[in-house]
């Protein structure tokens, strides 16, 4: 049972699934539904390779020789990931927010906030595609949650992106997006009381502004997403400058800048 779960760990990457696919299929043959899950993971790897296109084509053998982390780094500019989070208000009403993350820069977009996650996601997806350069984007990774509708998938498919679904109960297959959602929950949502849907609509964009422009990320060399897109800032001797601290969300988060 433990070996089966190791196959599904995204830390081993899609390449691990491809490399050990035959052994994994044999080892989980006695586990109900196991063959289906491994087959799904292999399908995602194959679909990702096909979506990238001939210019960056990877055969199954070549992908198997790469570590999962290296594979994602190499193809990051082609991948975006979607995930949703839920927030319970002080009135115990559940609200859903849909976010989309660009793997290359870690820039995150808020697509929509709603209490009824149905086809209402579509306008947010349209807005993202209209406002963002999607020339190099080839595929969208998402989980199998019921909040993702056929309309949502169709919007991205019409834009030329291939929609790839992660294996069931395998959050590490969408690790970057899940990590971002966990960060937002830890830094804001678990420390603030959300009154209603308009309140969440106001606070989420402000947090994402901080996340995209001021928060360093270990995965991109301690740069913020905006710096990852434009290049690292020039070095500054802090001994000869004053540092200004700006608080947001009533002091929950601090941002530091060189004082003018």
In a domain, 173, yes or no: yes
Which of 74, 63, 81, 52 has its CA nearest to residue 16?
63
Look up residue 26 and give its two tokens.
């044999």
pLDDT per 10-residue tile (average), the chain, 260 residues: 41 44 40 49 60 52 54 77 91 92 91 80 79 85 85 88 88 89 94 93 94 90 89 83 88 86
Same domain, 65 and 87: no
99 with 214, same domain: the answer is yes
What pLDDT, on the 0 to 100 scale, is given for residue 49? 58
CA–CA distance, 77 with 139 (Å, rounded to integer): 10
Domain membership of residue 211 (yes or no) is yes
Domain match, 125 and 222 both: yes
pLDDT of residue 40: 58
pLDDT for residue 200: 94
Note the pLDDT of residue 99: 93
Same structural domain, 97 and 61: no
Task: Say if residue 38 is in the same domain as residue 162.
Answer: no
Q: In angstroms, rounded to a whole number, what is the distance separating the alpha carbons of residues 127 and 119?
A: 14
Q: How far is C-alpha 133 from the geometric centre of its chain's CA atoms?
A: 17
Structure confidence at residue 39 (pLDDT): 59
In a domain? residue 11: yes
pLDDT confidence of residue 1? 46
Claim to verify: residue 15 and residue 63 sit in the same structural domain = yes
pLDDT of res. 169: 84
104 and 175 share a domain?
Answer: yes
pLDDT at 208: 95
Each residue of 47-68: b (16+ CB within 10 Å) or e?
bbbebbeeeeebeeeebbebeb
Do 26 and 150 sit in the same domain of this protein? no
pTM score over 0.75: no
The whole-number pLDDT of residue 186 equals: 94
Residue 185 φ then ψ, to 5°: -65, -40
Do residues 26 and 111 both lie within one domain? Answer: no
Q: Which two tokens stand for residue 167?
A: 């294996």
| Joined tokens for residue 161 | 């992106």
Distance CA 9, CA 19 (A): 14
Structural domain tally of the chain?
2
Q: Range of 211's domain?
A: 75-228
Alpha-carbon span 49 to 43, nearest angstrom: 10
Nearest-angstrom CA–CA distance, 84 and 208: 14
Give pLDDT, residue 34.
Answer: 46
Same domain, 86 and 195: yes
Task: Say yes or no: 94 and 56 in one domain.
Answer: no
């Amino acid at each position: 049972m433990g070996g089966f779960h190791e196959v599904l760990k995204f830390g081993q990457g899609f390449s691990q699934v491809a490399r050990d696919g035959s052994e994994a299929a044999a080892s989980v043959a006695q586990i109900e539904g196991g063959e289906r899950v491994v087959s799904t993971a292999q399908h995602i790897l194959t679909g990702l390779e096909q979506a990238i296109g001939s210019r960056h084509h990877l055969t199954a053998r070549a992908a198997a020789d790469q570590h999962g982390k290296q594979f994602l780094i190499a193809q990051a500019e082609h991948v975006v990931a979607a995930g949703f989070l839920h927030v319970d208000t002080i009135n115990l009403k559940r609200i859903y927010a849909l976010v989309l993350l660009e793997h290359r820069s870690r820039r995150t977009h808020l697509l929509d906030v709603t209490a009824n996650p149905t086809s209402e996601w579509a306008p947010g997806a349209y807005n993202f595609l209209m406002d963002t350069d999607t020339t190099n984007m080839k595929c969208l990774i998402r989980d199998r949650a019921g909040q993702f509708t056929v309309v949502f998938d169709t919007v991205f498919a019409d834009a030329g992106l291939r929609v790839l679904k992660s294996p069931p109960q395998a959050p590490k297959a969408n690790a970057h997006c899940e990590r971002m959602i966990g960060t937002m929950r830890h830094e804001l949502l678990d420390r603030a009381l959300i009154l209603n849907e308009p309140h969440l609509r106001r606070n989420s964009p402000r947090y994402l502004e901080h996340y995209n422009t001021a928060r360093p990320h270990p995965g991109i060399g301690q740069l913020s997403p905006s710096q990852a897109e434009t290049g690292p800032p020039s070095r500054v001797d802090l001994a000869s400058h004053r540092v200004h601290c700006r608080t947001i969300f009533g002091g929950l988060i601090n941002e530091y800048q060189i004082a003018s």
